[in-house]
A and B are shown apart, each in its own frame.
Chain A
Amino acid sequence: MLGQVDKVTIFQKIVYYTLMTVLALIIIYPFFFMVTTSFKDSPEVFANIMKPFGERLRFENYKIVLSTVNMGRYMLNTVFVTICVVIGQIITSMMGGYAFARINFPGRDILFRIYLGTIMIPFVVIMIPIYKMMQIFGWLDKFQALIIPWVFTAAGTFLFRQFFKSIPKELEEAAIIDGANRWTILWRMFAPLSVPAIATQATISFLYAWNSFIWPLVAIQSKSNYVVTQGLADIQGGYHASPPIIMAGATLVILPTVLVFLFAQRYFVEGVATTGMKN
């Protein structure tokens, strides 16, 4: 808007920065409320919910959440599941993306179209049969149910296919003449060139795995195998359902994704741009 064509006056700048700051503060406020409330105790919260700080910072809330409410266990579970899903998705998408981008085989283009068409189909459509399948495999209530069906992603395959197509063919041909096979080419030559695509896919997979809720909710019953979102939803209905404890739990669930975002902002935005614009 401003500065698109004409020069900006100081007055316009002041109005502009004030407006943006107010909007940003409104957007951020719920997180401020979450973190500050997590350091109070219940009487302090209900005495004046608007007052950010109580008498002192009550770190013991986090101790209760991590040990008594068992959020520590849920966090470890989620870290494990997330790492497996991220690594699995990247490996299968890179291999599939490479096959679609660079190898000629019968039926490739039709198969690729089918893959693309499925991106639109929502998960709820297959949720009930997958549930039954997990029951048959004996994976219900186990981490397998949270990991194995999730390490294949049509969208990720698409992302890597697009990226690999942009790598010049000459590089690869030279390597083939030198006697390298495709396996070596993918992991020794393409992988190092694909760091931005890998980072983008990793952030997408990470967010997806860490924040997933409806599937763990139906697939996992034992508390010892809960993931963080489930554990957090469980606090609300449980014995420790006071605002400070819930907010401490919410902080533990939200903080990791926000931290990763702050450090890898570029890749998040690129992820939106690639998944968004190119299809």
Chain B
Amino acid sequence: MTANQRREALDGFLFLLPNFLGFLIFFAVPLVVSFYYSFTDYNLFQPPKFIGLQNYITALGFNIDTQAYQAVLAQGGSIFEAIKELITPKDPTFWLALGNTFKYAIGVLVLCIMPAFFLAWLLNSKLRGMAIYRGMFYIPVVASIVGSALVWFWIYNRDSGVLNITLAYLANGLTNITQYLGFKVPEPLIGWLVDSDYSLLSLVILTSWATIGYDMVIFLAALQGIPRYLFEAATVDGASRTYSLFKITIPMMSATIFFVLVTNTIAVLQIFSEPYIMTQGGPANSTLTIVYYLYQKGFQRFQMGYGASLAWLVFALIFVITTLQFRLANRWVYEE
């Protein structure tokens, strides 16, 4: 190295130093420590006790109980009921939270990503006022999710919430028509947040409402990047709008669709505020997400070791899903 190069390298290190120190102390070190904690029994007050894979076994493992299996068979239960008793998860709550999180992701796909695509498609026109609509759709994205969740908490209220009152009003309106046919449309009285059949859906609707503007802006940017001549050529060839949508728009946007899928899935795997504010994971754990379960275990019951292992499982999931989506993307994403 010449003196000049050495001087430059020193400058480089000095410029990076504040950033790198922060990265090391508040990211790299905690990352390693967290990995270590995940193999320990740790309650924050006594030193962590190394227990090997025990936390992961508790989270992912199953108990096998042949006695219960035989007992069910002896009582005349079916083989399926017996198998249910034979193999039981060591931590059923974890599996419940995992299942809820997956349902959440599918809900967001249907209620957020797809409508966002449709909205972007609608907004991608040269008509006046588009910027205003885009801005309005984006407002929920910048609003604090804690604040939004509290607002929706009152919209969802079973007896005096806006949503049920609106639905009842619509039902009565329909009854005005259907009464001539001899039946009434019943007034729905849905316990959005207190009925375990609806609670998860209610949170999905909130999250979708809060995310749709973000996805839409990304889709819109990609739509505007599609060269116009493609559509013009298709129109000249007599292609219909639907045909253009499926044969030009969607293939040209596949990389973006893929990106939105990945980021939304990662975000859903980390959902915490919505269940914390609206349902505390209930009723009957129907809205318990993995991160909320992690919070309960780590910071309410001080099972920090188990909490850390849950965090690493979340990360492993993110890693697997992202890799999987990348692999799939290689097959169907069109790149120029």
**A residues whose Cβ falls under 8 Å from a Cβ of B:** 1-6, 8, 13, 16-17, 19-20, 23-24, 27-28, 30-31, 33-34, 37, 45-46, 49-50, 91-93, 95-96, 98-100, 103-106, 108, 111, 115, 118, 120-133, 135, 148-149, 151-152, 154, 157, 182, 186, 207, 210-211, 213-214, 217-218, 228-229, 232-233, 236, 243, 246-247, 249-251, 253-254, 257-258, 260-262, 265, 268-269, 272-273, 276-277
Asked if residues B122 and A1 are in contact (CB atoms below 8 Å), the reply is yes
The answer for the CA separation of A243 and B155 in the assembled complex, in Å, is 11
Asked if residues A276 and B151 are in contact (CB atoms below 8 Å), the reply is no
The answer for the CA separation of A260 and B135 in the assembled complex, in Å, is 12
B residues near A27, Cβ cutoff 8 Å: 136-137, 139-140, 209, 212-213
Contact A152:B27 (CB < 8 A) given known A27-B136, A95-B15, A233-B276: yes
B67 lies within 8 A of chain A by Cβ: no
The answer for the CA separation of A98 and B126 in the assembled complex, in Å, is 39
The answer for the CA separation of A218 and B214 in the assembled complex, in Å, is 28
5 CB-based A-B contacts, threshold 8 Å: A95-B15, A126-B34, A149-B26, A218-B299, A268-B138
Contact A250:B150 (CB < 8 A) given known A3-B127, A95-B19, A277-B221: yes
Which residue of the partner chain B has the closest CB to A8? B127
Known: A30-B151, A95-B15. 5 other contacts (CB 8 A): A1-B122, A99-B11, A130-B30, A182-B15, A207-B142
Contact A122:B124 (CB < 8 A) given known A233-B276, A261-B138, A268-B142: no
Q: Which residues, 244 to 288 on B, are CB-close (under 8 Å) to A? A: 256, 259, 263, 266, 269-270, 272-273, 276-277
The answer for the CA separation of A52 and B127 in the assembled complex, in Å, is 32
Asked if residues A157 and B235 are in contact (CB atoms below 8 Å), the reply is no
Contact-residue size bin, chain B (C-beta under 8 Å from the other chain) = 35 or more
Asked if residues B155 and A30 are in contact (CB atoms below 8 Å), the reply is yes
- A204, chain B: closest CB distance, angstroms: 11
Asked if residues A99 and B15 are in contact (CB atoms below 8 Å), the reply is yes
Of B20, B127, B312, the contact of A125 (CB 8 Å cutoff): B312
- A69, chain B: closest CB distance, angstroms: 13
- B237, chain A: closest CB distance, angstroms: 12
Asked if residues A122 and B314 are in contact (CB atoms below 8 Å), the reply is yes
- B288, chain A: closest CB distance, angstroms: 15
Asked if residues B162 and A124 are in contact (CB atoms below 8 Å), the reply is no
Asked if residues A127 and B311 are in contact (CB atoms below 8 Å), the reply is yes
Of B9, B148, B217, the contact of A30 (CB 8 Å cutoff): B148
The answer for the CA separation of A211 and B16 in the assembled complex, in Å, is 28
Looking at A37, A121, A151, the one whose CB has the most chain B CB atoms below 10 A away is A121
A residues near B232, Cβ cutoff 8 Å: 5
B residues near A154, Cβ cutoff 8 Å: 23, 27
A residues near B10, Cβ cutoff 8 Å: 105
**B residues whose Cβ falls under 8 Å from a Cβ of A:** 5, 8-13, 15-16, 18-20, 22-23, 26-27, 29-31, 33-34, 37, 44, 119, 121-127, 129, 133, 135-140, 142-148, 150-155, 160-162, 165-166, 209, 212-214, 217-218, 221-222, 228, 231-232, 235, 241, 256, 259, 263, 266, 269-270, 272-273, 276-277, 291, 294-295, 298-299, 304, 307-308, 311-312, 314-315, 318-319, 322
Which residue of the partner chain B has the closest CB to A122? B270
Asked if residues A33 and B151 are in contact (CB atoms below 8 Å), the reply is yes
Asked if residues A1 and B139 are in contact (CB atoms below 8 Å), the reply is no
Of B166, B217, B266, B312, the contact of A272 (CB 8 Å cutoff): B217
Looking at B34, B143, B166, the one whose CB has the most chain A CB atoms below 10 A away is B143
Contact A129:B30 (CB < 8 A) given known A99-B16, A120-B266, A232-B147: yes
Asked if residues B144 and A229 are in contact (CB atoms below 8 Å), the reply is yes
- B38, chain A: closest CB distance, angstroms: 9
Contact A37:B11 (CB < 8 A) given known A104-B5, A213-B145: no
Which residue of the partner chain A has the closest CB to B206? A30
Contact A214:B295 (CB < 8 A) given known A122-B270, A233-B277, A254-B147: yes
A residues near B256, Cβ cutoff 8 Å: 277
- B42, chain A: closest CB distance, angstroms: 8
Asked if residues A122 and B143 are in contact (CB atoms below 8 Å), the reply is no
Looking at A50, A125, A186, the one whose CB has the most chain B CB atoms below 10 A away is A125
